[in-house]
Every structure is written in C-alpha cells, then in structure tokens.
Amino acid sequence: MSNKPQVSPAIAAIGLILVAFSISGSTINPVEVYLPQLKDKDADVRVAALRKLQTSLDSKIPEAMLPLLSDEGNSIRRLAARAIGSRWWQIPKDKSESYINALARNLRPELEFEDEKNMAERAIGLLTRRYDSKMFSRSANGRWIIYERRGLPCLIDNSTDTEELLGWPRDQSVIELFMPASGNETLEGHASNERYVSWHPHEEAVALEIWQTRRATAVWIWQHKYGLHKLNRSELIKLLQPKGEIDEPHPISATIKEWKDNELQVFVGWGWERGGSAVIGWDLSRHKWRVISRGQRQDQ
C-alpha cells in the first residue's frame, strides 16, 4: 500500500480554478501557467488547462498540442486537434508534415471516436489547404470556404489565404452557436434534412443555421461585398406579427429551406397546437425580406 498522498480530481480541478482566479488580475501570462499543466499526470488537470488555452493565440501552443494527439484521453486528443487546426496559419509549411502525420493517426473509423476523427480531418484540411472533407463547405466558384471555429462559422478566402470569423463578437443575449459545433459534427449534419450550410448555386452567398436558444434556430446570410446579415428574433416578429406562443418551450424558429433563383427561402415555425408557420424570402439584390406564404405548423 502506497504512503503517497492522493489528490482527487475534484481537488485538482479546484486548484486549477484558484490558479486561474489568482492570475486573472495580474500581469502573468496565463499561457506560462497552463502550458506546464498539459504534462500533468492527472487527466482532469490536462483537460482543464487545455480548455483554458483554447482561445489563446500564443505561438507556443501548436507545438505544445503535438504530443497531446497521442494522449490516452479522447477529449484531450480531440481538443488538441481542434487547437492545431484553429492555428493553421501559425504553423510554417515546412513543419506541417509532422503535424499532419500525427493527426492522421487519429482518423479512426469507430463511431465512438467520430468527434475526434472530425477534428483531425478539420486540422489536416486546414494545414494542407485541401477542403474536400465534410468538415468544410465550398462556394460554387471555389473561392470561399466555410468551417467551424470557436463555435461560429469561419470564412476562408482561398484567393488570399485569409479568414474571417463571422458573427464575432457574439450577441451575449443569445447563444449564437453554429450548429455543427454542438457535437463537433460535419457541416452536413447527421440527418438528411439537416442543412447547416447552403451556398447559392451561382452567386457568392451562403446561408448558415445558428442555435439561438435551447430550442430555437436562426439563419444568417453572408454575401460577398455585403457582409453578414443575421435574421434575428425581433426581425422575425416585426415581419410576421405571429399570433400565439412564440417563447420557450415552443419558440419562433427559422431554418434554411432552399435557394430559388436569387432568393433564399426560409421556413419559420412557432407554437404548438395553435402554432403558426411561414415561408419568407431574402432577396440578394434588394437585401430585404418578404413573406412568401403563411400556414399552420405541420411539424407537431
């Protein structure tokens, strides 16, 4: 029987929180605190430190993530792959091969590792500049690429090798989470009727589905030279003047329907037994919404 003192995962996590609290008001670089914790024997400490570093752009992070791709913990491997992919522009091309080879070992076919595989595919695509994986969605002319980063749609301009995080900073009054981010999913989703991303067949424009609340989704539209337009709750209410229940648990919610000529058609539903529905359209030339049809909700 060992005489070594045992530290529980809960105490270790509390210790990490206290460290975070103590440095939050200081001039200490958090990266210098959390990077060493990535080598801690306790997996809970490694995961917590990794999450603290997810949004940091410190140039030391990609190299620190490399050994974590072979960590015993699935969550750690997945987060490490995510971190590497999100910093593709920090990794020199002459060093990318070692990252790609390490990531390729995590492309496991088993369903239980699907989220890890997706993050590895995402990182490999970003490092190689090949966007044929389902973790990406490409415009008809090939210039624009959408992928998920920080829970938001990220737009790559293939002609300049630059990117823009759409919707940043977030509206703090709602969730604003790009649908694939909820489960580290592909941009196609799991069900046949899920359409997280829908490019116009000819124009440089794309529709995106976004979680707004626990049960409500919204549609964002990005168009080259015009930027991002968010179809939010207040705009829907002003346009449709819906009667009946529009709040949780049966809130007013919008989903992508289809592109028809130069108009994006969106399905809107609200309520339950006496709920309503409508189809509305966004005209790419006029940049305004119109009501196409109204009816009773059919997805009860």
- Tens digit of each residue's pLDDT (9 = 90 or more) over 237-262: 999 999 889 999 999 999 999 999 99
CA gap 157, 216 in Å, rounded: 30
State what percent of residues in the chain have pLDDT above 70. 88
What's the confidence (pLDDT) of residue 177?
Answer: 97
Among 2-6, 112-116, 197-201, 287-291, the minimum mean pLDDT is found in 2-6
Domain ranges of the chain: 9-130, 138-300
Split at pLDDT 50, 70, 90, the class of 11 is: very low
Res. 224: pLDDT tops 60: yes
What's the confidence (pLDDT) of residue 145?
Answer: 98
What's the confidence (pLDDT) of residue 272?
Answer: 83
What's the confidence (pLDDT) of residue 22?
Answer: 47
Question: Stretch 194-200: mean pLDDT, rounded?
Answer: 90
Domain 138-300, second-level architecture: 8 Propeller (2.140)
Look up the CATH number of domain 9-130. Answer: 1.25.10.10
**Chain mean pLDDT for the chain:** 90
Res. 221: pLDDT tops 90: yes
Among 19-33, 70-84, 193-207, the minimum mean pLDDT is found in 19-33
Res. 73: pLDDT tops 70: yes
State what percent of residues in the chain have pLDDT above 90. 82
